[in-house]
Amino acid sequence: MNSLILRTVVPLLVSIMLVFSIFVLLRGHSLPGGGFIGGLIAASSLALYMIASGSQAVRKALVLHPMSIGGLGLLFAVFSGVPSYFSDVPYLTGLWYEPEFFHISLIATPVLFDLGVYLVVVGSITAIALALEEWH
Amino acid sequence: MEPILAVVVGILFAITVFLFLSRSYVRIILGIFLLSNATHLLIFTMGGLTLEVPPLIPPGATVPTEAIANPLPQALILTAIVISFALFAFLLVLTYRAYQALHTVDVDEMRDAEPLVEEDGA
Amino acid sequence: MTLTDWTVVLPVALALGGTALCAVFWWRPVIQSAIGIVITLLMLVSAGVLVCTVATEGPQTMAMSGWPGPFGIVFAVDLLGAGLAFVTALVGLLILIYNFGDQSSDYRRVGYTPLLLAMLAGVSGAFLTGDIFNLYVWFEVLIIGSFGLLILGGKKAQLDGAIKYATLNLLATTFFLIATGLLYGLTGTLNMADLASKVAAVDNRALVNVVAALYLLAFGMKAAAFPLFFWLPASYHTPKPGVSAVFAGLLTKVGVYALYRVFTLIFPASDTIFADLLIWIAGATILAGGLGAIAQTDIRRLVAFTVVGGIGYMLVGLALQSPLALTGGLFYIFHSMLISTALFLAVGIAGRLGGSYDIAKLGGLYRARPAFAMMFLVVLFAVAGVPPFSGFWPKVVLVQASLAADAPWLAGVILVGGFLTLVAVARAFAAAFWDNGEEEPPRATHYGDRVGALMLPTLVIIGLSVLMGLAAEPVVQLAGQAAAGLSDPSAYIEAVLGGSE
């Protein structure tokens, strides 16, 4: 879409939305929020960017192929269950490690899992959006 | 409250059946989407409706201190919504793609996978 | 928690991890194929260990995240689930080898291996989970993978087949979800072992029957049982053989597995009104498959109908519910998973050599490729259940079980169905291999550079089929042990709920 106003505003909006999506992702550790909803916010910001500046700009900004991002996320999610093997508990058991930040332990398998979900959602939704945009 | 929701679920199912009877594939996928929404509402109703507080355990306690709402149906519905969202997106794209390739959304005319056998002399 | 205990989740975790790795290397089909082969090999090993453990020590469980059943999601594996997961990994590995050998570019495309691994994750998850809602989720995982595989290449017929396949499969899983929602409202639990006792205690038998009917409808649709099988011959022949083969080998069997699980553990068929209905469905499926196969002129649709017929034999085992019948049914499931795969692969090679799938146009392949023609004939005999191949013994067991259950007509249907299949495949062989066709010009009869990889999967399966046919005793014993676990699920229930009592 060729609109000067949109192209001026969108970079600002996209950066705010991306920061907000990470905030929602981390907030989901103990309050409403989480990887899925954060990923959707990030994906919609990328879709907005795509509407303003075209699909090539989004691909350039992402560096990695969207499916690779999704794959990385799935890999994180699968691997978040592996530490439980060394702690002798069943697969995917939540484990928290020291040190804590602001009384919340951020080095934890649920955080890794949530990050994985976030990346899967960002990757797959962006891939679909790009495919629909570029498809004639 | 449950009887009202049960009636709503019934109405949604009825609309779904009506849409399925159509020859246009677009209506059929709308029917599928409505059916999955009706199903989510059905799970919600079957889980029992209560006016209780969210199922959160206060700090220090190991069991809830008061009556809480049943969190499981919502977890099930959330899972089902995510799945049906993904599948519906897939179906929409597939339909569009099929329309481009086959030039029709009339299910009677979609015979590419199973061509009708021509009669002799036809 | 040793690595042996972890084999309960390893097949699924490996397949998901493999999907992820392939997605990371999204534009590198060669790396993806390598990852796929390594992952399926590891799955095969872990599922093999799992089978040995379950066979000697009884059902194994693992409570995800340490939430014990019936509250959390439990993976619970008995001999049936472990055996099916093993065959799933084997089929996945063989398909990837075939894919390596088949150089007709279309499905060396980007996306093939990750989608296949995602589907294998869904199939193994369905076989290993002990929670009915989790079973629904694995169903969805496998159908998402299968949708992607089905439209890979994007030909007109594929899109048309995919629309029918997608619509009916989505409808089936929605019925599954409705039934599960109702069941949760009735019993307040979703753990299959827990449901076994909770459902028996429900007073409202009418509603229990409604739920059971919905499960029968949903899984019957997935399994392509009569009268809900029309989507299968409408779609299975449209994609490339490397995709059709894995569909025929695995997907319908997941539906059959779910029927076996639900109608032995949760609603023992003898307790419900469905025992008689199941017998009719089984008989009608056998005949529909046989008659449908005879009527076809496209060799791929012909073999799709033989897959439908095979489902009927498995349902006979479930419908009769006696340990003997269950043994025969389970043996047939394992036989059919392997042979359906081999059949579609062999048809794929025949189509490559002959340049068509129409049996009237194929003629003369025997003269051009006698060795391949013999291999094809052997696969067809194995499908029809001619001794010494593996299809023979389960049919014998099923006939015996029908006679024991005082249903001689069912035994007759089994024999007639076998005869119809034999006629259909003999006709296909005669037309496609012996006829000289209509003096057509010589066709491109090249295998490509990698004949070994192209042929190996089919030869391995033929070898296994002969082995299972000649040394049937241990297989029957294993199937009998699995069947005993189904008729008397107390060990399974004990393994899942034992800790929480």
C65-101 pLDDT, tens digit each: 878 778 888 899 999 999 999 999 999 999 998 888 7
In 3D space, the residue among C488, C465, C490, C479 whose CA is nearest the CA of residue C324 turns out to be: C479
A132, B93: Cβ pair inside 8 Å? yes
B82 interaction partners in chain A (CB closer than 8 Å): 36
Q: Is A102 exposed, middle or buried (0-12, 13-18, 19+ CB in 10 A)?
A: exposed
Subunit partners of chain A (3 or more CB pairs within 8 A): B, C
C140 interaction partners in chain B (CB closer than 8 Å): 83, 87
Residue C323 CB neighbour total at 10 angstroms: 15
Task: Report whether C300 contacts C357 (CB < 8 A).
Answer: yes
Average the pLDDT over C136-156 and give the result.
89
Average the pLDDT over A80-108 and give the result.
78
Task: Report whether C99 contacts C456 (CB < 8 A).
Answer: no
In 3D space, the residue among C468, C301, C491, C287 whose CA is nearest the CA of residue C388 turns out to be: C468
Residue B38 has pLDDT above 90, yes or no: yes
Confidence at C299, pLDDT banded by 50, 70, 90 = confident
Most A CBs within 10 Å: which of B78, B93, B99, as the mutation test of the A interface?
A: B93
Task: Report whether C259 contacts C223 (CB < 8 A).
Answer: yes
Q: Which residues pair with B76 in a beta bridge?
A: none
* Per-position DSSP letters for C408-435, written without gaps between them: HHHHHHHHHHHHHHHHHHHHHHIIIIIS
Residues spanned by the domain of B76 = 2-49+69-109
Task: Report whether B69 contacts B48 (CB < 8 A).
Answer: no
Using the 8-state DSSP alphabet, how is residue C357 labeled? Answer: S
Of B42, B46, B112, the CB nearest to C157: B112
Nearest residue on chain B to C185, alpha-carbon basis: B46
B89 interaction partners in chain A (CB closer than 8 Å): 128
3-state helix, strand, coil in chain A (%, to 5): 70, 5, 25
The answer to whether residue B104 neighbours chain C at the CB level (below 8 Å) is no
Q: For the segment C162-221, what is each residue's pLDDT rounded down to a tens digit?
A: 888 999 999 999 999 999 999 998 888 899 989 988 888 888 888 888 999 999 999 999
Does any domain span residue B54?
Answer: no
- Which SS3 state, helix, strand or coil, does residue B24 take? strand
Distance from CA of A9 to the nearest CA of C (A): 32
Q: For the segment A6-28, what is each residue's pLDDT rounded down to a tens digit?
A: 889 999 999 999 999 999 998 88
C177, B25: Cβ pair inside 8 Å? no
B93 interaction partners in chain A (CB closer than 8 Å): 128, 131-132
From CA B36, how far away is CA B49, in angstroms rounded?
Answer: 20
**Region at B13 (left for phi over 0; alpha for psi -120 to 50; beta for the rest):** alpha
Using the 8-state DSSP alphabet, how is residue C62 labeled? Answer: E
What's the confidence (pLDDT) of residue C436? Answer: 62
C1, A74: Cβ pair inside 8 Å? no
Distance from CA of C467 to the nearest CA of B (A): 37
Question: Rg of chain B's alpha carbons, rounded to an integer?
Answer: 22
Q: What is the ipTM of this complex?
A: 0.91
Write out the residues of chain A at the interface with chain C, using a CB-CB cutoff of 8 A. Answer: 65, 67-68, 70-75, 77-79, 81, 84-85, 88-94, 123
B102 interaction partners in chain C (CB closer than 8 Å): 156, 159-160
Task: Report whether B47 contacts B66 (CB < 8 A).
Answer: no
Does any domain span residue B9?
Answer: yes
Nearest residue on chain C to B35, alpha-carbon basis: C174
Residues 76-95 of B with CB under 8 A from A: 82, 89, 93
Task: Report whether B62 contacts B77 (CB < 8 A).
Answer: no
Question: Rg of chain C's alpha carbons, rounded to an integer?
Answer: 22
Q: In CATH, what number is assigned to the domain containing residue B81?
A: 1.10.287.3510
- Which residue matches tokens 């067991």? C397
Cα dist from B61 to A30, B64, C419, whole Å: 16, 7, 69
Nearest residue on chain A to B82, alpha-carbon basis: A36
What's the confidence (pLDDT) of residue C441? Answer: 46
Reading the block at residue A125, the tokens are 């939704």
Number of domains in chain B: 1
Lowest mean pLDDT among A98-107, C335-344, C374-383: A98-107
The answer to whether residue C147 neighbours chain B at the CB level (below 8 Å) is yes
Query: What is the overall mean pLDDT for chain C?
Result: 86
Residue C201 CB neighbour total at 10 angstroms: 7
C62 interaction partners in chain A (CB closer than 8 Å): 90-91
Reading the block at residue C318, the tokens are 């479930």
Cα dist from C61 to C53, C64, C495, whole Å: 11, 10, 7
From CA B3, how far away is CA C306, in angstroms rounded?
Answer: 47
Confidence at C374, pLDDT banded by 50, 70, 90 = confident
- Give the distance, in angstroms, between the CA of residue C2 and the centroid of all CA atoms in the same chain: 30
Q: For the segment C35-50, what is each residue's pLDDT rounded down to a tens digit?
A: 999 999 999 999 999 9
Q: Residue type at A85?
A: Y
Residue A78 CB neighbour total at 10 angstroms: 24
Q: For the segment B63-111, what is each residue's pLDDT rounded down to a tens digit?
A: 877 777 788 888 899 899 989 988 888 888 888 888 888 888 888 887 7
Residue C191 — φ and ψ, nearest 5°? Answer: -75, 125
